[in-house]
Amino acid sequence: MPTPGADLIAELGFERPVVQAGMAGGVAGGELAGAVSAAGGLGTVGMMGPGAFAAALAQARRRAGGGPVAANLLVPFIRQSHVRACAEAEVALVVLHGGLSRRWVRALRSRGLRVFVTVGTPSQAVRARADGADGLVVQGSEAGGHLVGVESVQVALPRVLEVADGIPVLAAGGVADAGDVKRLLDLGAGAAIAGTRFLLTEESLAHPDYKRRVIEARQTLATELFGFGWPLRHRVVANAATERWCARQPRGPRAARWAARLSAPLGQAVPIEQLGRLAAMQRVGVPVFSPALPLRGMPGEAVDRCALYAGESAVRMHDLVPASLALERLTP
């Protein structure tokens, strides 16, 4: 009997059980998402300002050659214009990350869109189902970027599957090669989600020095240092900011963490496209860092004062490749 995940893959029309993570802030644009979808995976456009987001979705659809394209939305920063962009692009799937929100699940589903919600625990999965989610993304603690996962994906996935009640479940965290994907599929995931492997591609819009730091990394760090405006744990590789402020307290200075929590309402009020401006004002010597990340075209010093998101799988990847080759390496 086909699994819910197999049914989903067949219904959406992608061929390989691999989903490219929707890395927000401009990294996963239309070029990357379209290339992944064109090669048989499910490419995902990451959240950015509404105008740029709509343009990236259109670019991804063109490049995908008829393949399905997904979108990723960060709950604290969603605006109605993001919902409209997803609907107008007729995306195959929207993944909500960074919070549980019945409001946005309903808004997206009312436009005829399929909505998955990222969770880290069974209790979050139960709430996401009650909110109307069509499917779940289980994130393990080894994943890069902003974390809702609190335990290894191989522990969290079976626990969430027990309460999923038959809806599709995708799994993210620790995915570097085809063996990792197969292990998650064998545990019951409908498909595996990979982020860092697609960060390290020619189509990714991450700053070249950011990619180099990830390739050279020998470990990652779970911290809260880059939480001003969005106080959520995140996994990064080291740079000057983490070396200055996380050497004694990996989570970051207590004052910085309190400032991040107090700034949460500001983060919800400030449009996501303003994060780049905040990043330009950041200084290594002042422990106030936004969630912004360094993109292609930014000054080189941005790599030391912005978050270098990457998962634990970074230590097993040592090259930069085209997105189609990255997908091939991930396919069991």
Q: What is the pTM assigned to this prediction? A: 0.94
Name the residue ranges covered by the structural domains of the chain: 4-205+317-330, 221-309
Cα Rg of the chain (Å, integer): 18
Q: In the chain, which residues have pLDDT < 50?
A: 1-2
Whole-angstrom Cα distance, residue 87 to residue 101?
A: 18
- CA–CA distance from 111 to each of 30, 55, 82, 108, 250 (Å)? 22, 19, 12, 5, 42
The predicted structure's pLDDT at residue 186? 96
The predicted structure's pLDDT at residue 7? 75
Q: Say which residue the tokens 């069991």 belong to.
A: 332
Superfamily per CATH, domain 4-205+317-330: Aldolase class I (3.20.20.70)
The predicted structure's pLDDT at residue 1? 40
Q: pLDDT by residue (tens digit) across 51-105? A: 999 999 999 999 999 999 999 999 999 999 999 999 999 999 999 999 999 999 9
The predicted structure's pLDDT at residue 93? 96
The predicted structure's pLDDT at residue 3? 56
Whole-angstrom Cα distance, residue 23 to residue 72?
A: 8
Q: Say which residue the tokens 């990619």 belong to.
A: 211
Distance linking the first and last C-alpha atoms of the chain: 20
Whole-angstrom Cα distance, residue 49 to residue 271?
A: 7
